[in-house]
Amino acid sequence: MMTSSRRLAPAAALAGLLCLGLAACGGGTTKDSASAAPSAAVSSAAPAAADPNAPIKEGLKIAFLPKAINNPYETIVDKAGIEAAAEYKGEAKEVGPSDASASSQVSYINTLTQQGQDAILIAANDANAVCGPLKQAMAKGIKVVSYDSDAAKDCRDLFINQASSEEVGRSQVKLMSELVGGKGEIAILSATANATNQNTWIEFMKDELTKPEYKDLKLVKVAYGDDDDQKSFQETQGLLQAYPGLKGIISPTTVGISAAARYISGTDYKGEVALTGLGTPNQMRQFVKDGTVEKFALWNPKDLGYLASYAAAALVSGQITGAEGETLKAGKLGERTIGKDGEIILGPPFTFDKDNIDEFDF
Amino acid sequence: MAPDTTAGPAATRAVPGGAGVAGNPLGRFLRWDVLVGVLLVVVFLGGAGLSPGFATVGNLSFALGDLGEIALIALAMTMLVVAAEVDLSVASVLGLSSALVGALWDAGWAIETIIPLVVVVGAVCGLVNGLLVTRLGLPSLAVTIGTLALYRGLAYVVLGDRAVAEYPQQFTDLAVGHVPGTPIPYPVMLFVLLAAATAVLLHATGFGRSLFAMGAQEEAAYFAGVRVKRVKLILFVLSGTVAAFAGVVYTLRYGSARADNGVGLELAVIAAVLLGGVDFDGGKGTLGGVIAGVLLIGLLRNLLMLNDVSTEIQSIVTGLLLIVSVLTPRLVSAFRRRGRPPLTVPTS
């Protein structure tokens, strides 16, 4: 028979190895001590000066990496970007994970780096988690443009903002206030809890709500539908049950607003609870026509993809370097100026209602 | 990469019900874990020939690093499955560990304190699983489905919906950096060491043989003097510990602690273990097969991605491979059994 110590020895050895790995790290590093230490210099050699008159190179290889490939909104953006690439004779494609997770995006960033793309366009699932691999891509000379949802500032050359986050956030509160007569409990139905863009908008919404004209509007809850149709549907149901006095829901995500509209349109809440947010005309058309939703907002996602595509091409061709104040020439959209932190804003959000919705097909 | 593959079947043969293939000189090569190894070589050579970006140092180094957490957890999972148990809560332990790292770091704790602490928490998670299985006699599948939800829930309690980033660079470098002078990422190095230790443990010690014995016929093992409950408890504690440590690696590698880190990872781990030829009913399998299985899934996925194969097709390929891996050994042994006196299969 084996002795007890003999049986336990290997387990102890394994545990010992683990401990060894841990013991290798002595001292005491805390958040404060780490941030006090000088951060590694990220800025490499000063970028070459921009040559606004440089022609766009032909045959550029650019890749769109959306949050997830089955997100209908991002499909529209990416398609438009791919079409734009055809205008400047580039080769563009869309690749991406089927789940909106940062870890699967990281694998794709590596793959695109290995394929030697000229530019990567990314809608980040987690601003920090994608940062390391994007830096590696940039170190290999690949230009990185984030769109829709930003990556950390030093991990991309440019961020194409669909609309100023501030304008989006504040205008949503304004829309909601109009719909409920400036009074009552409201809730927000967001995407994932870590979605960079949604969180920024929500911050501005909260800030807007502190203004005196909205003193009678009360934000009772921010719910997360994870950009999943079924989960968003259930969260809507949950909100309405938990807050019987709820007057309105703002859903700043296309998946959320359509799921919420579908739930509300099939219940007695229709006409009682106001719903607005960010949606696409095709998804929302029937709910605008049946009175579930009066107004909602969005920018034109096709223009977003188009602008991002041109921005990537201009970066690779040396027309711009991403510095503040440079001018981007974006085909049929005209010119845009690069703002602070390498941000380019597409334009103000656009409000859809029953009178204009039929003019749009996307 | 090639731990002792002879001890596995040797141990199996010693046990009633184990499929004896020793008499057939070809048997050794017809074993599934060897086939997986061959398949791995085929995928690698095929990939190197077809995709210029595949067999580069940079790509392989990344692809291996990307497998780090799955590979680490697979080591402990292999021993559990060999002993006819399973731990589905590993990804949730990873998530809980990640959430704890984030919350404590944000609260100003020293990372040197945080890491050992969360590993201990992982061990406790494993202990809870083990106690429920061994003391209450519950099936591990049911117990760990429960703790899968429980630990993930705790992760959300700890960190909520936040994401905590900005870890000290000397630690993130340990997770993404390479052993100086080589393209080998640190987590891969750690995996190699632990894999060697696990291979010895599983295939060259009494403890390892007792796992095969338990997996094949628990009662027989018990009457042969194996302290079945104690051994199982150790396995669950190990599994929780390794999963929590993998959570630390995951957090530092992505530089982002979130409660939803690693959702669904347990299936990738179990897929690799099964693909590596470990019998889900226990008693059969080799660590070499599992390592080949982890590498095969990882490199195949990397190769498909490099060739712009869509995610849907990737998961179809992996799924089919898995079914084939479970089916083939059964078909082979059914084929062998024809024309021979039937083996006495004990009823468990």
Closest CA to B211 of B183, B184, B230: B230
| pLDDT digit string, tens, across residues A329-345 | 999 999 999 999 999 99
Q: Give contacts of A7 with chain B, Cβ < 8 Å.
A: 205-207, 210, 227, 231
| Residue whose C-alpha is closest to residue B1's, from B289, B323, B322 | B289
Q: Is B313 on the interface with A (CB under 8 A)?
A: no
Cβ contact, residue pair A129, B193, below 8 Å: no
Listed residue (B220, B304, B199, B236) closest to B15, CA to CA: B220
Residue of chain A with shortest Cα separation from B67: A107
Asked if residue B125 lies in contact with residue B87, where contact means CB atoms within 8 angstroms, the answer is no
The alpha-carbon gap from A319 to the nearest alpha carbon of chain B, in Å, equals: 29
The enclosing H or E element of A279 equals none
Of residues B266 and A104, more confidence is placed in B266
Do residue A10 and residue B205 have CB atoms under 8 angstroms apart?
yes
Structural fold of domain A165-298+353-359: Rossmann fold (3.40.50)
Task: Say yes or no to pLDDT of A176 above 60.
Answer: yes
Write down the mean pLDDT value for chain A.
Answer: 87
Q: What length is written for chain B?
A: 348
pLDDT at B2 over 70: no
Can you tell me the mean pLDDT for A153-174? 92
Sketch the domain layout of chain A as residue ranges.
31-162+301-346, 165-298+353-359
Mutate to test the interface with A, among B112, B176, B297 (most CBs of A within 10 A): B112
Q: Which of residues 196-215 of B touch A (CB under 8 A)?
A: 197-198, 200-201, 205-208, 210
Q: In chain A, what residues touch B97 (CB-CB under 8 Å)? A: none
Catalogue the E-assigned strands of chain A.
61-65, 91-94, 119-122, 143-147, 158-161, 184-190, 217-224, 246-251, 274-277, 295-298, 327-329, 335-337, 343-345, 350-353
Q: Which residues of B are less than 8 Å from A113 in CB distance?
A: 58
Which residues of B fall within a CB distance of 8 Å from A9? 205
What are the structural domain ranges in chain B?
17-333
d(CA B193, CA B173): 19
Whether residue A116 and residue B171 make contact (CB cut-off 8 A), yes or no, is no
* Token pair recorded at residue B263: 């959702």
**pLDDT winner (highest mean) among A48-52, A204-208, A358-362:** A204-208
Which chain A residue is nearest to residue B308, measuring alpha carbons?
Answer: A95
Its pTM stands at 0.77
Q: For position B10, what pLDDT does the model report?
A: 41
Min Cα distance B73 → chain A (Å) is 13
Amino acid at the residue A194:
N
Residue-averaged pLDDT of chain B: 87
Tokens read off for A320: 């711009």
Percent of chain A's residues with pLDDT above 90: 68
To test the contact with chain A by mutation, choose from B111, B172, B191, B202 the residue with the greatest count of A C-beta atoms within 10 A, namely B111
Q: B 125-164 residues with CB below 8 A of A? A: 160-163
In this predicted model, which residue has the larger pLDDT, A351 or B332? Answer: A351
The whole-number average pLDDT for the span B33-57 is: 90
| Mean pLDDT of all residues in A256-265 | 96
CA–CA gap between residue A322 and residue A302 (Å, rounded): 22
Report the pLDDT averaged over residues B78-107. Answer: 97
Nearest CA in chain B to A31: B108
* Coil vs helix vs strand at B165: strand
CA of B103 vs chain A CAs: smallest distance (Å): 11
Q: How many CB atoms neighbour CB B310 within 10 A?
A: 15
Nearest to B256 by CA among A194, A172, A327: A194
Whether the CA torsion A49, A53, A58, A61 is positive or negative: it is: positive
Contacts A–B by Cβ distance under 8 A: 158
Strands A350-353 and B163-165: unpaired
Q: Which chain B residue has the Cα nearest residue A111?
A: B306
| pLDDT confidence of residue A158 | 96
How confident is the model at residue A212, as a pLDDT?
94
**Residues 315-334 (B) with a CB less than 8 A from some CB of A:** 315
- Chain B residues inside the 8 Å CB shell of A67: none
Q: Which two tokens stand for residue B148?
A: 């899968």
CB contact under 8 A, B171 and A132: no
- B207 and A98: CB-CB below 8 Å? no
Residues of B in contact with A194 (CB under 8 A): 161-163, 258
Question: Residue B105 is encoded by which pair of tokens?
Answer: 């770091």
Q: Do A128 and B165 touch (CB under 8 A)?
A: yes
> What stretches of B83-110 show up as alpha helix (H) in DSSP?
90-106
Q: How many angstroms separate the CA of residue A85 from the nearest CA in chain B?
A: 18
Residue type, A341: D
**Across the interface, do B110 and A11 touch by the CB < 8 Å criterion?**
no
Measured between CB atoms, does B57 come within 8 Å of chain A?
no
Q: What is the pLDDT of residues A51-77, one digit of tens each?
A: 888 889 999 999 999 999 888 788 889
Q: What percent of chain B clears pLDDT 90, i.e. is strictly above it?
A: 67
Would you say residue A11 has pLDDT above 90?
A: no
Instruction: Determine if residue A329 is left, alpha or beta; phi over 0 gives left, psi from -120 to 50 gives alpha, anything else beta.
Output: beta
- Do B105 and A114 lie within an 8 Å CB cutoff? no
Beta-carbon separation of B115 and A114 below 8 A? no
Work out the pLDDT band at A25, boundaries 50, 70, 90.
Answer: very low
At the topology level, CATH places domain A31-162+301-346 in Rossmann fold (3.40.50)
Q: How confident is the model at residue A34 (pLDDT cuts 50, 70, 90)?
A: low
Of A39, A98, A106, the CB nearest to B254: A106
- Residues of chain B in contact with residue A2, where contact means CB-CB under 8 angstroms, are 206-207, 210, 225
Reading the block at residue A270, the tokens are: 């229709």
Asked whether the beta carbons of residue A14 and residue B54 sit closer than 8 angstroms, the reply is: no
Q: Quote the CA–CA distance of B324 and B279 in Å, as a whole number.
A: 13
* Mean pLDDT confidence for A80-104: 91
Strands (DSSP E) contained in chain B are 163-165, 256-258
Residue A301: which pLDDT band, with cuts at 50, 70 and 90?
A: confident
Cα separation of A323 and A321, whole Å? 6
pLDDT tops 80 at residue B114: yes
Please give the CATH number for the structural domain made up of B17-333: 1.10.3470
Helix (H) or strand (E) holding B335: helix B311-337
The DSSP code sequence of B280-315 is: TTSS---HHHHHHHHHHHHHHHHHHHHTT--HHHHH
Q: pLDDT at residue B5 above 60?
A: no
Band (pLDDT 50/70/90 cuts) for residue B341 is low
Question: Do A31-162+301-346 and A165-298+353-359 show the same overall fold?
Answer: yes
